[in-house]
Amino acid sequence: MGKDNFYVTTPIYYVNGNPHIGHAYTTILADVLTRYHRLLGVESYFLTGTDEHGSKIQEAAEKSGITPKEQCDITFSRFVELWEKLEITNDDFIRTTEDRHKIVVQKILQDLFDRDLIYKSEYKGWYCLPCERFFLEKDLIDGKLCPECKRPVKELVESNYFFRMSNYQDWLINYIKEHSDFILPAFRANETLGFLRQPLSDLCISRPKFRLSWGIELPFDNDYVCYVWFDALVNYISAIGYLSDEKKFKKWWPASYHLMAKDILTTHTVYWPTMLKAIGLEMPKTIFAHGWWLTDSEKMSKSLGNVVDPMSMSERYGVDAFRYFLLAEMALGQDASFTESGFIQRYNADLANDLGNFLNRVTKFILKQENPVIPKPGEENGDDKEFIKEVLNAVNVMESSIVNMRLDKGIEAVLGAVRAGNRYMEKTAPWKLAKEGNTERLNSVLYNAAEALRIISGLLYPVIPEKANVIRKSLGISDDKIVIEEFKVWGKLNPGLKVFDTGVLFPRIELVEPKVEEKSEHSKPVKESSKVEGVMELISIDDFFKAKLKTAKVLTAEKVKNTEKLLKLSIQIGEETRQIVAGIAQFYPPEDIIGKSIVVVSNLKPAKICGLESNGMLLAAKREGQLKIITVDGDMPSGSSVG
């Protein structure tokens, strides 16, 4: 690549909906990689932003009765707020509605038009509005559904402008074949090569204004705006000074990594390289497409409405735990499933039990000594050597896992060192050494354990910055400058540092919060460990009749503010009107449930859900991401008993 700087980008996210964990994942990944490179002393630049043009945004604004600009401003600020909350250290945030971007897009369009690389022609194709893409008939599902989002497509014929993408097909195939790190993981390069086996058509880069006005106007025809993808991809160069600040641009381009999920592989590995080739710029070093976060084996996405809110997850469980889980759980490149119980399990195992426990054991023991400071170690014995080897091995694995984009493997190795630390404590039994008065050996053991924690906290710092600093603080390290080179050398922790009790690092999550999606708002919180999958407990008829099931009529329904899942309903049960809060917002718009005759458990203790009183629970059937409310067949007065 011929440059030592590190320039990483995330996709710029659409502002038609709130950010979800998919967006959080790519952005945290970019953040962690950037933080590691900063620790390595590599000058780094981390860009993220928002994609603010196109029909998705125009449609979302129309739906909410606001202007597209207002839609952009409101949603953009949600992304900014989330990145602040998640301790994202991006150097820049680009919005495609900013002049610094629009001017560059227009200059590129004009240049390509002047060089006949953009021309006008008639276009006929199958268009998917939510995805903003034309598809070939052969790619449609059952000849009528979008292959990406599975919604109906429309046939459109219109005059448009085209970029001569087909000129570059042979060049692109060769480039991919000759640069093994251009598209990663390697199987994604094969996917792109597979796509390129078909003749590559020219790319329609305009949209007539009568159909879509929210976009960057073509500089050579003001009846058209630019296709949102042609506009969006340019952000990677407009943000770093292309055509405006040559020095800055030279410093950062080509990008080290464009990160994204596999959903936007083709736009990044076919459209973008051919655009860059036509413009006359170098290719990015690596385009890396990770897998998808799934719920119930479906991709989590705004359009499918099955998303997990990163803001509420990090508020409930802590930012560092959330960052840790996402990176540790997803094998980079593969899909991963997100469940709250999976989150809690990993949290308790890795963070509360292994890491938290190791720190707690070491500091508590040192604090019990007459002089609660990092002790001076004596001679190393075999146990020490073995342990030290394991910790230093984690340093090497982490380093190579950054280079090879397998952060999950690096984290696994560090957790391996943590577990080795707990084993080392058990094997060397410092409490026995203390009892025996074997101070020299006790000092060695405590020093080695504390030194391991220094290295472990440094290795985990990019992932859990706040907690890593807490670990360092409890070891008495006041210097907040972490240098990777210092991880590789055993013995950098200075004896004599005063150790502090900084409290429980990751408190164990003993109880599962009632989970809205499982309709258990009112059920008693359960201990994770008490769940036994696949075993059905039998109850007596008396147990069943303890629940008073009644018919009820829904009088009003509205979404609960700041939540994605909850609807607040007022229901009538006989003479009585009650309020219940139900986790059905993703499956039923409020207007669809008003007037329905439903079944509720009427004798549940009232509960507070998101600060609202809920007085009963409605019944619903759920399977594979679908939910259907149980309703009454035919006329039946509300308040009738069910059973």
In whole angstroms, what is the distance from residue 130 CA to residue 284 CA? 28
For 163-190, give the DSSP string: E-GGGGHHHHHHHHHH-TTSEESHHHHH
The H or E element spanning position 55 is: helix 55-64
| Shortest distance (Å) from residue 408 CB to ligand ME8 | 14
Q: Give the closest residue to 228 by CA, choosing from 296, 140, 127, 151.
A: 127
In whole angstroms, what is the distance from residue 236 CA to residue 225 CA? 20
| Shortest distance (Å) from residue 288 CB to ligand ME8 | 10
Contact between 14 and ligand ME8 per CB under 6 A: yes
Q: Which of 126, 293, 324, 506 binds ligand ME8 (CB under 6 A)?
A: 293
Q: Which of 260, 278, 283, 445 binds ligand ME8 (CB under 6 A)?
A: 260
- HSE-up (13 A, CA, CB side) for residue 131: 20
Contact between 227 and ligand ME8 per CB under 6 A: no
Place of tokens 């026995």: 432
Contact between 550 and ligand ME8 per CB under 6 A: no
Classify burial at 208, counting beta carbons within 10 Å of its beta carbon; exposed 0-12, middle 13-18, buried 19 or more. middle
In whole angstroms, what is the distance from residue 484 CA to residue 520 CA? 47
| Shortest distance (Å) from residue 9 CB to ligand ME8 | 8
Lay out the site mask for ligand ME8 across 21-40 (x = CB under 6 A, - = otherwise).
-xx-xx--------------
Stretch of residues binding ligand ME8 (CB under 6 A), selected from 291-299, 362-370, 442-450, 538-546? 291-299
Contact between 300 and ligand ME8 per CB under 6 A: yes
Contact between 292 and ligand ME8 per CB under 6 A: yes
Q: Which of 53, 102, 133, 299 binds ligand ME8 (CB under 6 A)?
A: 299
Q: How far is CA 519 from the centre of its chain?
A: 25
Contact between 350 and ligand ME8 per CB under 6 A: no
Q: State the sign of the Cα–Cα–Cα–Cα dihedral 365, 369, 371, 374.
A: negative
| Shortest distance (Å) from residue 210 CB to ligand ME8 | 24
Using CB under 6 A as the binding criterion, the count of chain residues that bind ligand ME8 stands at 21
| Shortest distance (Å) from residue 295 CB to ligand ME8 | 9
Stretch of residues binding ligand ME8 (CB under 6 A), selected from 69-77, 157-165, 293-301, 490-498? 293-301
Contact between 191 and ligand ME8 per CB under 6 A: no
Contact between 616 and ligand ME8 per CB under 6 A: no
Q: Which of 31, 51, 354, 517 binds ligand ME8 (CB under 6 A)?
A: 51
Given the complex with ligand ME8, which of 237 and 264 has the nearer CB atom?
264
In whole angstroms, what is the distance from residue 116 CA to residue 129 CA? 29
Given the complex with ligand ME8, which of 95 and 299 has the nearer CB atom?
299
In whole angstroms, what is the distance from residue 251 CA to residue 265 CA? 26
| Shortest distance (Å) from residue 148 CB to ligand ME8 | 10
Contact between 232 and ligand ME8 per CB under 6 A: yes
Place of tokens 């005063």: 498
Number of H-type helices and E-type strands within the chain: 22, 26
Q: Quick check: 48 and 93 in contact, CB under 8 A?
A: yes
Binding site for ligand ME8 (CB under 6 A): 11-14, 22-23, 25-26, 51, 232-233, 235, 260-261, 263-264, 292-293, 299-301
